[in-house]
Every structure is written in C-alpha cells, then in structure tokens.
Chain A
Amino acid sequence: MTKPSLSKEAQAELTRWPTRAKRLLGELLDDAATALQQELLQRAVAAGHTPNEVHAFADQLRGMADDEAFAACTLDQDAPRDYTVTQLLRAEADPLFAFELKGGTLEPDDDEAPLTAAKPKADVSTLRRITASFVADSTDALPAVLSASQAVLAPVGAPSSGLSALLYEATRAHGLSWHEAEVDDEAGMTLEAAVEAAGELLEEGLPVPLGLGNTAGSTGRLVIALQVMRSGRSRAWQLFDPFSNELVWANEADLLARKELPFSNKFYRRITRIALPARRRTA
C-alpha cells in the first residue's frame, strides 16, 4: 500500500520525534492494512500523541477491519449526550482519544521503552524481554488475598496523581486501593518510612510501584518492587524496570543511601515516589 503523505500538522509533530520513532512510524504506516488505518495513525500523530501511544494504537488497529476501526475510533452518533462538547470536538480530530474514550485500551509494546530511552548495557544487570501488561478489564470484586491481617494505610500527604487511579483500576479485582506519596518531599513521607511500609507490604506479597529520580520531587522513571528477601539483618529488594526490562536486586541500605541504584541508567539514583497498596475491605 502506498504510504500516505502526512498532513502539515503531523509533520510538525514529527519534528519532535526521535529518528528511531520516525522510522518506526514509517514501518507502521507501511504495515497498516488499509488507507483508513493509515489515516487514523497519521491523525493520532497530528494530535500530538507520543510515539509509544501511536505504536500501541497501531497494534490495536492492526487486527481490525475498516468498519471495526471506524466504529472504535468514532463517537456514537446516537448517544451524543454521553459526551461533553469538548470531548466530541477533540474526538473528531483525534481518533486515539476517541478510541480510549470508547473504552479502548492501549497496551504498550516491547519496543515502547527504546523509543525514548537508551538501551541499557547488558553487563550491568539482567536484561529481560518482557511485556507484562494486560488489559485492566476486571470487574469481579474479589475477596482479600494473600493474608488475612491487613492494616489499612492512611492516605499520605501528597495529592494522588493519575498513577493511583490507574493502579486502582488495574487491580480492582483484588480489592486494593492505592495511596501515592512523594518521598523526601515536605508534603510526603521520608524515604525511611516509605521503605519500611513498602517492605512490609512486599513481605505480604503485594507489589509496590516506585518512582525514581535524580533528586527529591523529580520522578522520571517508574519501576516495580516485586519482592524482598531477608538475609540475616539485611534485606534485599527485587526491582523491575518495565521500560528498560531490567530485573535487579538492591540492598535496602543502598536504597536508603539515596546515591545510586543498580539499574544501568545511573541518572535515576533514588526513590522519589511510592504507591502503597491497601485493602479496601476484608471479605
């Protein structure tokens, strides 16, 4: 299929894209099964979506016939009262926005991270080819899991961001709520308190998302603490970075030192944010 000529708006957006992302967009347009899919992709680019979002959008479109794609990316004409005027206007120009508004979910792909971040060095830590994301479409309310004794944490200082809401939605079936806090920030909690709280939750089997940054108050990367292991008086944390696909073990003392983390990207050297899970209720 002939590659479409990009609109001025799309071309303007592409000037901000990294070279690799531009090349990938070309491949996505080549791979698009129909002219409609190509058009939807270039409109998503013109609307200012990130390379990762456009890539994930292309993945979703790929399996659709034209009528399915059109329906998935167009607000229903017979139910306009469900949408605000702003949503209707934006959806006209932005098919990806309409897709998500209608309940479509983008699942980041394996190639997501490398579009915006350098590949880690293989000798620093274990590199993984992993994409463990699933559609957060659980609706069943499940009883509490893993342990019967659950102390519900009080919400902590910093206002919740979108992460808490996304976590709540993604783990709704497990009856969890999430309390997000800046770490070592005036309105948040100390790193020591965060590590203590997270350590207890990890020992109960609950994963804990962490924000990493160079200084307090600046989060540039999100990772997941998967588990902790005790060895004598010390404790080791297993951390997974879903963007560089690195799985590492870190001594708790190193986490508390705020100087360096065992990921290949040394810029993100300390924990700056934390999202703590808590039971909504015990069944």
Chain B
Amino acid sequence: MAPSRSQPSSPFLSRELNGEVLLDELDELRGANVPQRQLDACAQALRSLRGSVRESAAVVRQLAGERFADDAALASLLRRWATRLKHDADGPLLAAHFERLALVGGVMTAVRRAAQQLPRSGR
C-alpha cells in the first residue's frame, strides 16, 4: 500500500536524520569550506517550503542552481535532497533539517573554541 501523501517519506523518518546523517553532511560541507553564513542563509531560504512537494522541490533546485551554485557542496546537497522530496509533508521537514544543520554547525564551532579554555585533566 502506498504511503499517505500527508506522511513524510522514509528519509525524514530515520532517527539518524538529525544525528549521523546531519553530521555526515556537516563533514561534507566543512570539507568543501562552505562558510557558516551560507549555511545560515540556506536554512533561512528553505523556511518558505510550505507548499506542495512539486513546489518545494522546485524551490530547492532553484536554490541549488542559482543562489548557492557557487558553493558546489551545498548545491549538491540541496539537489540530493530535492530528489528525496516525495510528499507534501517533506518540505517543512527538510527546512527543519537544514535549520538544525546550520545550528549544529555554529554550535560545533563555539564548542570547539570554548574547549580550548578548559583545564586539561590529562586523561
């Protein structure tokens, strides 16, 4: 039986979507030197994903092909996600995922820098 169109598709149901998947994506973006501000801007741009799946996919592809085209890794990530959008419920979930991606990227930077001030236990 085909899933209801109001239900998210499988990539958005994975419990690792905002865990291991997210960290892999950050790793990929970091490796390509994508600036945090681009990730923040991308998360902001995706907040408009509230329409039909067709509209959402078009918006994501357009962002990949235009606004973020210069950041190849980010554009590639957007294109990959565009192909995974199957149901109307997926658009807002993709927006939330990129929001977390941007937030965790920023928090990671702060934590790494703050850790340099911690006492070293030597353990």
Q: Contact check: which of B108, B113, B115 meets A221 at CB < 8 Å?
A: B115
Per DSSP, chain A at the interface is: loop
Interface residues of A in 136-158 (CB under 8 A from B): 136-140, 142-143, 145-146
How far is B103's CA from A31's CA once the two chains are assembled, in angstroms? Answer: 34
**How far in angstroms is the closest Cβ of chain B from A124?**
15
B30 partner, pick from A106, A134, A171, beta carbons under 8 A: A134
Answer yes or no: B39 CB below 8 A from chain A CBs. Answer: yes
Size category of the binding interface on chain A: 35 or more
User: A176 CA to B22 CA in the complex, in Å?
Assistant: 20
Of residues 237 through 272 on chain A, the ones whose CB sits less than 8 Å from some CB of chain B are 238, 240, 242-243, 247, 265, 267
Stretch in B13-21, B51-59, B62-70, B76-84 with 4+ CB within 8 Å of A: B13-21
Whether A112 is near chain B, meaning CB under 8 Å from some CB there, is: yes
B47→A145 contact, CB < 8 A? yes
Q: A131-B27, A139-B37 in contact; A224/B111 too (CB < 8 A)?
A: yes
Q: A142-B44, A170-B110, A222-B115 are in contact. Are A134 and B23 (CB under 8 A)?
A: no
Per the CB 8 Å criterion, the residue count for chain B at the interface is 46
> A146 touches which one: B37, B96, B105 (CB < 8 A)?
B96
Of chain B, the residue at the smallest CB distance from A112 is: B112
Q: Is the CB of B96 within 8 A of A205?
A: yes
Whether the Cβ atoms of A227 and B109 lie closer than 8 Å is: no
**A residues bordering B, Cβ < 8 Å?**
50, 52-53, 106-108, 112, 116, 126, 128-140, 142-143, 145-146, 161-163, 166-167, 169-171, 173-174, 176, 205-207, 209, 214, 218-224, 226-227, 229, 238, 240, 242-243, 247, 265, 267
**Contact residues of B with A, CB < 8 Å?**
15, 18-20, 22-24, 26-27, 29-31, 34-37, 39-41, 43-44, 47, 96, 99-100, 102-121, 123
